[in-house]
Amino acid sequence: MNSFIIRGDICYSADKNHLITKENSYLICENGVCAGVFDMIPDRYADLPVHDHSGMLVMPGMVDLHIHAPQYAYRGLGMDRELLDWLNTYAFPEESKYGDLVYADNAYTIFANAIRSSATTRLCVFGTLHRTATELLMDKLENIGVVSYVGKVNMDRNSPDTLREASAQTSLADTERFIKETQEKYKNTYPIITPRFIPSCTDELTKGLGMLSKQYHIPVQTHLSENPGEVAWVKELCPWAENYGEAYNRFGLFGKPEKAVMAHCVYSDEKEIARMKENGVFIAHCPASNTNVASGIAPVRKYLEADMNIGLGSDVAGGHSESMFTAMVDALQVSRLYWRLVDQGQKPLNVGEVFYMATKGGGAFFGKVGSFEEGYEFDAVVIDDSLLPHPQELTLQERLERSIYLAGDVKALKAKYCRGIEIMRN
Protein backbone atom coordinates (compact mmCIF):
# COMPACT_ATOMS: atom_id res chain seq x y z
CA MET A 1 0.00 0.00 0.00
CA ASN A 2 2.61 2.55 1.07
CA SER A 3 4.68 2.10 -2.05
CA PHE A 4 5.53 4.99 -4.33
CA ILE A 5 8.38 6.96 -5.80
CA ILE A 6 9.51 10.51 -5.07
CA ARG A 7 11.34 12.35 -7.81
CA GLY A 8 13.49 15.27 -6.75
CA ASP A 9 16.91 16.49 -5.65
CA ILE A 10 17.77 14.08 -2.89
CA CYS A 11 19.97 14.71 0.15
CA TYR A 12 20.74 12.40 3.05
CA SER A 13 23.53 11.35 5.36
CA ALA A 14 25.32 8.04 5.05
CA ASP A 15 27.16 8.91 8.24
CA LYS A 16 28.36 12.03 9.99
CA ASN A 17 31.18 12.49 7.48
CA HIS A 18 29.29 11.63 4.32
CA LEU A 19 26.49 13.75 3.00
CA ILE A 20 24.98 12.25 -0.14
CA THR A 21 23.39 14.55 -2.73
CA LYS A 22 21.72 13.24 -5.91
CA GLU A 23 20.10 15.61 -8.32
CA ASN A 24 16.99 14.67 -10.22
CA SER A 25 16.82 11.17 -8.77
CA TYR A 26 14.22 8.70 -7.62
CA LEU A 27 13.63 7.71 -4.03
CA ILE A 28 11.67 4.49 -3.65
CA CYS A 29 9.27 3.81 -0.81
CA GLU A 30 8.23 0.14 -0.65
CA ASN A 31 5.69 -0.74 2.00
CA GLY A 32 6.74 2.23 4.12
CA VAL A 33 10.42 1.39 3.91
CA CYS A 34 13.18 2.95 1.78
CA ALA A 35 14.28 0.79 -1.09
CA GLY A 36 17.04 3.18 -2.09
CA VAL A 37 17.81 6.12 -4.36
CA PHE A 38 18.22 5.60 -8.10
CA ASP A 39 19.18 7.65 -11.16
CA MET A 40 16.44 5.90 -13.15
CA ILE A 41 13.39 4.02 -11.94
CA PRO A 42 14.34 0.33 -11.76
CA ASP A 43 12.09 -1.94 -13.81
CA ARG A 44 10.73 -3.72 -10.76
CA TYR A 45 9.27 -0.42 -9.50
CA ALA A 46 8.00 0.77 -12.88
CA ASP A 47 4.36 0.47 -11.85
CA LEU A 48 4.61 2.55 -8.69
CA PRO A 49 3.08 6.02 -8.65
CA VAL A 50 5.55 8.90 -8.85
CA HIS A 51 5.25 11.97 -6.62
CA ASP A 52 7.00 14.51 -8.77
CA HIS A 53 8.90 17.04 -6.69
CA SER A 54 11.39 17.85 -9.42
CA GLY A 55 13.55 20.84 -8.65
CA MET A 56 12.87 20.57 -4.95
CA LEU A 57 15.01 19.27 -2.13
CA VAL A 58 13.99 15.90 -0.72
CA MET A 59 15.55 14.98 2.59
CA PRO A 60 14.81 12.72 5.56
CA GLY A 61 12.22 13.94 8.06
CA MET A 62 13.77 15.81 10.93
CA VAL A 63 14.17 14.26 14.37
CA ASP A 64 13.65 16.39 17.47
CA LEU A 65 15.10 14.52 20.44
CA HIS A 66 13.91 16.98 23.07
CA ILE A 67 10.86 19.21 23.21
CA HIS A 68 8.45 20.27 25.97
CA ALA A 69 4.93 20.43 24.55
CA PRO A 70 3.39 22.47 27.41
CA GLN A 71 6.11 25.07 27.13
CA TYR A 72 5.22 25.82 23.53
CA ALA A 73 2.70 28.37 24.79
CA TYR A 74 5.41 30.66 26.09
CA ARG A 75 8.18 30.13 23.59
CA GLY A 76 9.91 33.45 22.99
CA LEU A 77 9.00 34.77 26.43
CA GLY A 78 11.00 35.14 29.60
CA MET A 79 14.42 34.51 28.17
CA ASP A 80 15.99 36.59 30.91
CA ARG A 81 16.96 34.01 33.50
CA GLU A 82 19.20 31.07 34.14
CA LEU A 83 17.80 27.55 34.21
CA LEU A 84 16.69 27.04 37.80
CA ASP A 85 15.26 30.53 38.17
CA TRP A 86 13.65 30.19 34.74
CA LEU A 87 11.97 26.93 35.71
CA ASN A 88 10.48 28.46 38.86
CA THR A 89 9.44 31.71 37.22
CA TYR A 90 8.10 30.51 33.88
CA ALA A 91 8.08 26.76 33.26
CA PHE A 92 6.51 25.50 36.49
CA PRO A 93 3.64 28.04 36.66
CA GLU A 94 2.78 27.37 33.01
CA GLU A 95 2.93 23.60 33.38
CA SER A 96 0.66 23.83 36.44
CA LYS A 97 -2.14 24.91 34.13
CA TYR A 98 -2.30 21.52 32.42
CA GLY A 99 -4.42 20.07 35.20
CA ASP A 100 -7.16 22.03 33.40
CA LEU A 101 -8.07 19.92 30.38
CA VAL A 102 -9.73 22.80 28.57
CA TYR A 103 -6.51 24.78 28.73
CA ALA A 104 -4.47 21.71 27.82
CA ASP A 105 -6.70 20.96 24.84
CA ASN A 106 -6.31 24.49 23.54
CA ALA A 107 -2.56 24.63 24.11
CA TYR A 108 -1.82 21.16 22.73
CA THR A 109 -3.89 21.85 19.63
CA ILE A 110 -1.63 24.83 18.94
CA PHE A 111 1.42 22.66 19.59
CA ALA A 112 0.29 19.81 17.37
CA ASN A 113 -0.55 22.21 14.54
CA ALA A 114 2.92 23.69 14.79
CA ILE A 115 4.57 20.26 14.65
CA ARG A 116 2.37 19.30 11.73
CA SER A 117 3.55 22.38 9.82
CA SER A 118 7.19 21.72 10.66
CA ALA A 119 9.76 19.45 9.01
CA THR A 120 9.80 17.22 12.09
CA THR A 121 8.61 13.62 11.66
CA ARG A 122 9.97 12.12 14.90
CA LEU A 123 10.12 13.60 18.35
CA CYS A 124 10.70 12.88 22.01
CA VAL A 125 8.21 14.97 23.95
CA PHE A 126 7.81 16.00 27.56
CA GLY A 127 4.23 16.51 28.70
CA THR A 128 3.50 17.58 32.27
CA LEU A 129 2.99 15.49 35.38
CA HIS A 130 -0.73 15.35 34.49
CA ARG A 131 -1.54 11.92 33.08
CA THR A 132 -4.82 12.85 31.44
CA ALA A 133 -3.47 15.95 29.71
CA THR A 134 -0.46 13.96 28.51
CA GLU A 135 -2.72 11.31 26.99
CA LEU A 136 -4.65 14.10 25.28
CA LEU A 137 -1.33 15.30 23.86
CA MET A 138 -0.63 11.78 22.59
CA ASP A 139 -4.03 11.68 20.84
CA LYS A 140 -3.18 14.90 19.06
CA LEU A 141 0.30 13.80 18.00
CA GLU A 142 -1.10 10.49 16.74
CA ASN A 143 -3.60 12.44 14.67
CA ILE A 144 -0.96 14.44 12.81
CA GLY A 145 0.88 11.29 11.74
CA VAL A 146 4.32 11.87 13.26
CA VAL A 147 6.05 9.23 15.36
CA SER A 148 6.67 10.25 18.93
CA TYR A 149 7.68 9.17 22.37
CA VAL A 150 5.65 11.14 24.89
CA GLY A 151 6.29 11.27 28.62
CA LYS A 152 4.10 12.02 31.58
CA VAL A 153 6.58 13.92 33.71
CA ASN A 154 7.51 12.75 37.21
CA MET A 155 8.25 15.27 39.97
CA ASP A 156 7.87 14.67 43.70
CA ARG A 157 10.17 17.28 45.23
CA ASN A 158 11.57 20.81 44.88
CA SER A 159 8.70 22.26 42.92
CA PRO A 160 5.64 24.32 43.86
CA ASP A 161 2.57 22.65 45.39
CA THR A 162 0.75 23.18 42.14
CA LEU A 163 3.30 21.12 40.23
CA ARG A 164 4.39 18.32 42.54
CA GLU A 165 3.04 14.82 42.92
CA ALA A 166 1.88 13.83 46.37
CA SER A 167 4.46 11.12 46.84
CA ALA A 168 6.78 8.78 44.99
CA GLN A 169 4.13 6.04 45.32
CA THR A 170 1.34 8.07 43.72
CA SER A 171 3.70 9.25 40.99
CA LEU A 172 4.72 5.68 40.23
CA ALA A 173 1.16 4.36 40.32
CA ASP A 174 0.04 7.09 37.95
CA THR A 175 2.97 6.36 35.64
CA GLU A 176 2.20 2.65 35.58
CA ARG A 177 -1.39 3.47 34.66
CA PHE A 178 -0.11 5.85 31.97
CA ILE A 179 2.05 3.09 30.52
CA LYS A 180 -0.73 0.53 30.54
CA GLU A 181 -3.18 2.93 28.95
CA THR A 182 -0.88 4.06 26.16
CA GLN A 183 1.60 1.29 25.42
CA GLU A 184 -0.68 -0.49 22.93
CA LYS A 185 -3.11 2.30 22.17
CA TYR A 186 -1.49 4.04 19.22
CA LYS A 187 0.20 3.18 15.98
CA ASN A 188 2.81 5.94 16.08
CA THR A 189 2.82 7.24 19.64
CA TYR A 190 4.57 5.59 22.56
CA PRO A 191 5.02 6.27 26.25
CA ILE A 192 8.46 7.09 27.60
CA ILE A 193 9.65 7.25 31.21
CA THR A 194 10.25 10.93 32.01
CA PRO A 195 11.72 11.92 35.35
CA ARG A 196 11.93 15.72 35.00
CA PHE A 197 15.47 15.77 36.37
CA ILE A 198 17.19 14.66 39.56
CA PRO A 199 16.30 17.79 41.56
CA SER A 200 12.58 17.05 40.97
CA CYS A 201 12.72 13.33 41.84
CA THR A 202 13.44 11.59 45.14
CA ASP A 203 15.64 8.53 45.04
CA GLU A 204 12.56 6.45 45.77
CA LEU A 205 10.83 7.83 42.69
CA THR A 206 13.87 7.45 40.47
CA LYS A 207 14.33 3.88 41.63
CA GLY A 208 10.68 3.05 40.97
CA LEU A 209 10.86 4.57 37.48
CA GLY A 210 13.86 2.38 36.72
CA MET A 211 11.80 -0.65 37.70
CA LEU A 212 8.87 0.42 35.50
CA SER A 213 11.21 1.02 32.57
CA LYS A 214 12.62 -2.48 32.94
CA GLN A 215 9.28 -4.20 33.59
CA TYR A 216 7.45 -2.64 30.65
CA HIS A 217 10.45 -2.16 28.33
CA ILE A 218 9.93 1.58 28.15
CA PRO A 219 12.74 3.94 27.15
CA VAL A 220 13.76 6.97 29.17
CA GLN A 221 14.16 10.71 28.54
CA THR A 222 15.40 13.34 30.93
CA HIS A 223 17.88 16.18 31.44
CA LEU A 224 21.58 15.89 32.24
CA SER A 225 24.36 18.30 33.21
CA GLU A 226 22.73 21.35 31.69
CA ASN A 227 23.78 24.17 34.00
CA PRO A 228 26.51 24.62 36.64
CA GLY A 229 24.02 25.46 39.40
CA GLU A 230 21.95 22.41 38.57
CA VAL A 231 25.01 20.13 38.52
CA ALA A 232 26.11 21.44 41.93
CA TRP A 233 22.61 20.91 43.31
CA VAL A 234 22.53 17.30 42.10
CA LYS A 235 25.84 16.73 43.87
CA GLU A 236 24.21 17.92 47.11
CA LEU A 237 21.07 15.90 46.55
CA CYS A 238 22.88 12.68 45.61
CA PRO A 239 26.19 12.74 47.48
CA TRP A 240 26.47 9.02 46.74
CA ALA A 241 26.67 9.59 42.98
CA GLU A 242 30.10 10.35 41.55
CA ASN A 243 28.44 12.37 38.82
CA TYR A 244 24.99 13.45 37.67
CA GLY A 245 24.66 10.57 35.24
CA GLU A 246 25.26 8.04 38.00
CA ALA A 247 22.19 9.38 39.80
CA TYR A 248 20.21 7.96 36.87
CA ASN A 249 22.46 5.02 36.12
CA ARG A 250 22.20 3.53 39.58
CA PHE A 251 18.48 3.04 39.04
CA GLY A 252 18.59 1.77 35.48
CA LEU A 253 17.61 5.00 33.76
CA PHE A 254 20.82 5.62 31.84
CA GLY A 255 20.69 3.62 28.64
CA LYS A 256 20.52 0.20 30.26
CA PRO A 257 18.41 -1.88 30.29
CA GLU A 258 16.31 0.39 28.05
CA LYS A 259 17.56 3.09 25.72
CA ALA A 260 17.68 6.62 27.09
CA VAL A 261 18.04 10.14 25.71
CA MET A 262 19.63 12.86 27.84
CA ALA A 263 19.09 16.49 26.97
CA HIS A 264 21.99 18.96 27.07
CA CYS A 265 25.20 17.30 28.45
CA VAL A 266 26.90 20.69 28.57
CA TYR A 267 28.88 19.92 31.73
CA SER A 268 29.37 16.15 31.58
CA ASP A 269 32.74 15.12 33.01
CA GLU A 270 34.94 12.41 31.54
CA LYS A 271 33.49 9.63 33.67
CA GLU A 272 29.95 10.61 32.83
CA ILE A 273 30.84 10.72 29.15
CA ALA A 274 32.50 7.30 29.37
CA ARG A 275 29.38 5.83 30.95
CA MET A 276 27.14 7.39 28.31
CA LYS A 277 29.32 5.88 25.63
CA GLU A 278 29.36 2.48 27.32
CA ASN A 279 25.58 2.45 27.74
CA GLY A 280 24.79 3.89 24.31
CA VAL A 281 22.99 6.84 25.87
CA PHE A 282 21.68 9.33 23.30
CA ILE A 283 22.65 12.97 23.70
CA ALA A 284 20.08 15.58 22.68
CA HIS A 285 22.13 18.66 21.86
CA CYS A 286 19.91 21.73 22.38
CA PRO A 287 21.95 24.76 21.33
CA ALA A 288 19.21 27.41 21.36
CA SER A 289 18.10 26.49 24.84
CA ASN A 290 21.65 26.34 26.17
CA THR A 291 22.12 29.84 24.83
CA ASN A 292 18.78 31.34 25.87
CA VAL A 293 18.98 30.24 29.48
CA ALA A 294 22.70 30.97 29.55
CA SER A 295 23.74 27.40 30.27
CA GLY A 296 26.77 27.42 28.00
CA ILE A 297 27.85 25.41 24.95
CA ALA A 298 28.01 21.63 24.84
CA PRO A 299 31.29 20.06 23.61
CA VAL A 300 29.68 18.45 20.58
CA ARG A 301 32.89 17.94 18.63
CA LYS A 302 34.11 15.72 21.45
CA TYR A 303 30.92 13.64 21.35
CA LEU A 304 31.10 13.25 17.59
CA GLU A 305 34.73 12.21 17.69
CA ALA A 306 33.92 9.62 20.34
CA ASP A 307 31.22 8.24 18.01
CA MET A 308 28.56 8.69 20.63
CA ASN A 309 24.84 8.64 19.88
CA ILE A 310 23.90 12.26 19.33
CA GLY A 311 21.05 14.21 17.78
CA LEU A 312 19.48 17.64 18.09
CA GLY A 313 16.67 18.96 20.23
CA SER A 314 14.68 22.14 19.80
CA ASP A 315 14.01 22.13 23.56
CA VAL A 316 11.04 24.43 23.24
CA ALA A 317 10.66 26.60 25.28
CA GLY A 318 14.23 26.89 26.48
CA GLY A 319 14.64 27.02 22.72
CA HIS A 320 12.19 29.44 21.15
CA SER A 321 11.60 27.64 17.87
CA GLU A 322 10.39 24.14 17.01
CA SER A 323 12.20 24.32 13.67
CA MET A 324 14.96 21.75 13.32
CA PHE A 325 16.43 23.94 10.58
CA THR A 326 16.91 26.58 13.25
CA ALA A 327 18.37 23.95 15.56
CA MET A 328 20.92 22.99 12.90
CA VAL A 329 21.94 26.63 12.40
CA ASP A 330 22.14 27.16 16.15
CA ALA A 331 24.38 24.09 16.46
CA LEU A 332 26.68 25.43 13.76
CA GLN A 333 26.78 28.87 15.32
CA VAL A 334 27.49 27.89 18.92
CA SER A 335 30.20 25.49 17.75
CA ARG A 336 31.97 28.47 16.22
CA LEU A 337 31.72 30.45 19.44
CA TYR A 338 32.90 27.38 21.37
CA TRP A 339 35.96 27.30 19.13
CA ARG A 340 36.58 31.02 19.55
CA LEU A 341 35.81 31.41 23.26
CA VAL A 342 36.35 28.03 24.88
CA ASP A 343 38.71 25.68 23.05
CA GLN A 344 40.44 26.29 19.73
CA GLY A 345 41.35 22.61 19.66
CA GLN A 346 37.70 21.77 18.98
CA LYS A 347 36.96 22.34 15.32
CA PRO A 348 33.56 23.95 14.63
CA LEU A 349 30.82 21.73 13.21
CA ASN A 350 30.06 21.67 9.51
CA VAL A 351 26.79 21.43 7.61
CA GLY A 352 27.12 17.70 7.00
CA GLU A 353 27.54 17.06 10.70
CA VAL A 354 24.53 19.05 11.88
CA PHE A 355 22.41 17.58 9.08
CA TYR A 356 23.46 14.12 10.23
CA MET A 357 22.55 14.94 13.83
CA ALA A 358 19.13 16.29 12.84
CA THR A 359 18.32 13.19 10.79
CA LYS A 360 20.23 9.92 11.12
CA GLY A 361 21.97 10.75 14.40
CA GLY A 362 18.77 11.45 16.30
CA GLY A 363 16.82 9.03 14.14
CA ALA A 364 18.76 6.08 15.55
CA PHE A 365 16.79 6.51 18.78
CA PHE A 366 13.76 5.42 16.75
CA GLY A 367 15.49 2.53 14.97
CA LYS A 368 16.46 2.64 11.30
CA VAL A 369 15.29 6.20 10.85
CA GLY A 370 16.73 9.39 9.38
CA SER A 371 18.36 8.23 6.17
CA PHE A 372 17.40 7.09 2.68
CA GLU A 373 19.53 3.99 2.72
CA GLU A 374 17.80 0.72 1.96
CA GLY A 375 15.82 -0.61 4.89
CA TYR A 376 15.23 2.71 6.60
CA GLU A 377 11.71 3.67 7.62
CA PHE A 378 10.42 6.10 5.02
CA ASP A 379 10.32 9.58 6.55
CA ALA A 380 10.88 12.46 4.12
CA VAL A 381 10.31 16.17 3.70
CA VAL A 382 10.20 18.20 0.52
CA ILE A 383 11.58 21.73 0.53
CA ASP A 384 10.90 24.20 -2.27
CA ASP A 385 14.05 26.26 -2.23
CA SER A 386 12.99 28.20 -5.31
CA LEU A 387 11.40 30.50 -2.74
CA LEU A 388 14.96 31.59 -1.98
CA PRO A 389 15.94 33.36 -5.20
CA HIS A 390 19.59 33.72 -6.15
CA PRO A 391 21.45 35.11 -9.15
CA GLN A 392 24.22 32.50 -9.35
CA GLU A 393 24.49 28.78 -10.10
CA LEU A 394 24.38 26.58 -7.02
CA THR A 395 25.28 22.95 -6.48
CA LEU A 396 22.77 20.71 -4.73
CA GLN A 397 24.90 20.72 -1.61
CA GLU A 398 24.93 24.53 -1.65
CA ARG A 399 21.16 24.55 -2.07
CA LEU A 400 20.86 22.27 0.94
CA GLU A 401 23.21 24.45 2.97
CA ARG A 402 21.35 27.67 2.29
CA SER A 403 18.01 25.97 2.84
CA ILE A 404 19.19 24.95 6.29
CA TYR A 405 20.12 28.55 7.02
CA LEU A 406 17.17 30.21 5.31
CA ALA A 407 14.24 27.86 4.79
CA GLY A 408 12.99 28.59 8.28
CA ASP A 409 12.25 32.10 7.02
CA VAL A 410 9.90 31.07 4.24
CA LYS A 411 7.03 28.71 3.78
CA ALA A 412 9.23 26.28 1.94
CA LEU A 413 7.95 22.95 3.28
CA LYS A 414 5.87 21.42 0.49
CA ALA A 415 5.26 17.88 1.70
CA LYS A 416 6.04 15.59 4.60
CA TYR A 417 6.00 11.80 4.76
CA CYS A 418 6.25 9.61 7.83
CA ARG A 419 6.48 5.82 7.73
CA GLY A 420 5.57 5.91 4.08
CA ILE A 421 2.44 8.02 4.48
CA GLU A 422 2.11 11.55 3.19
CA ILE A 423 1.04 13.43 6.30
CA MET A 424 1.26 17.03 5.09
CA ARG A 425 1.17 18.89 1.80
CA ASN A 426 1.35 22.65 1.25
Angle at 130 between CA 128 and CA 132, to 5 degrees: 125
Q: How far is the CB of 50 from a copy of itself (least distance, A)?
A: 30
253 or 351, CB closer to a copy of itself?
A: 351
Distance separating alpha carbons of residues 137 and 135, to the nearest angstrom:
5
In whole angstroms, the minimum distance from the beta carbon of 115 to a copy of itself comes to 13
Closest CA to 343 of 310, 302, 312, 305: 302
Distance CA 369, CA 248 (A): 27
Beta carbon nearer to a copy of itself, 113 or 183? 113
Q: How far is the CB of 277 from a copy of itself (least distance, A)?
A: 26
CB of 335 to a copy of itself, least distance (A): 9
Find the shortest distance in angstroms from Cβ 395 to a copy of itself: 10
Are the C-beta atoms of residues 212 and 252 closer than 8 Å to each other?
Answer: no
CB atoms within 10 A of CB 155: 23
Nearest residue (CB) to a copy of itself, 222 versus 291: 291
Residues that bind a copy of itself (CB under 8 A): 73-77, 79-80, 94, 97, 103, 106-107, 110, 113, 288, 291-297, 320-321, 323, 329, 332-334, 336-337, 339-342, 348, 350-351, 389-392, 394, 398, 401-406, 408-409, 411
On the CB side of 375, CA atoms within 13 Å amount to 4
| C-alpha dihedral sign at 409, 396, 119, 14 | negative
> Which CB atom, from 42 or from 160, has the smaller least distance to a copy of itself?
160
**Nearer to a copy of itself among residue 206 and residue 323 (C-beta):** 323
Least CB distance from residue 320 to a copy of itself, whole Å? 5
For a copy of itself, the closer of residues 54 and 113 by Cβ is: 113
77: DSSP letter: S
Cα 162 → chain centroid: 27
CA 338 – CA 316 distance, rounded (Å) = 22
